[in-house]
Amino acid sequence: MPATDITELGSQVRSLPPAEVLQWAQDRYGDRVAIASSLGPEDQVLLHMAASIEPGPRVFTLDTGRLFPETYDVIRESVERYGMPIEVMFPDTSDVEEMVRAHGVDLFRDSVAARKLCCDVRKVRPLKRALADMDAWITGLRAGQSPTREALEVLSWDETNGLLRIAPLASWTEEDVWTYIRAHDVPVSALHARGFRSIGCAPCTRATFPGEDVRDGRWWWESPEHKECGLHACGAKEAHDASEGAS
């Protein structure tokens, strides 16, 4: 999609409340748009908003095989609460087996390249399968989440997957998210009450300490500019370089 088209579309939705952005996306793309949910606070806010849309948008999540038990609790609670199915995408078994045989089960500790390979196998490739029949996807990204996301807009072109990326909460703060969650009793992971502000795979996530940024508990052994898994910031070349660097 040309940059001029993205700019024009963005001008239509930039000032809309997130719930109206979701409705706009559903009206425009129908069953060719979906919410990609990590079951984090932002995604749970989007799920709550989407529950009032008829027909409801598709929702999917990525099960890497290394999630916290509490994340599965959120899936169950959300399906029961909203009556919306959540499609679960898994990594290819042969890809995981090949990676682990070659690099070990905890390769992500060895180098940034090895960690990105693990993310590529467990997250990026399943995401590509989930998005194969989509024209757009909806994420809970916020500009304030990390240095790699500061320039985030409500609409952007996802070069890696070749479709529109929609971030209804782009301008929201972490406080905005939690104010909404408390006001609407949105189900969230029990880990948040234990100091986990951003939750991913269990081996790569810890609670944050006072004064730390929201994503400091993710891959805490890496520098901030590297803290992306490939779903949002990495282009095709970077994903390829990660795979090559870990071999």
Q: Which residues are catalytic?
A: 229
C-alpha dist (Å) from residue 49 to 45, 160, 171, 179, 204: 6, 27, 16, 14, 29
Give the burial class of 150: count Cβ atoms within 10 A of its Cβ; 0-12 exposed, 13-18 middle, 19 or more buried.
exposed
3-state secondary structure of 196: coil
C-alpha dist (Å) from residue 144 to 4, 12, 65, 173: 25, 22, 28, 7
Nearby residues of 185 by Cβ (< 8 Å), 6 or more positions away: none
Buried b or exposed e, range 174-194, using 16+ CB within 10 angstroms: bebbbebbeeeebbbbebbee
3-state secondary structure of 218: strand
3-state secondary structure of 215: coil
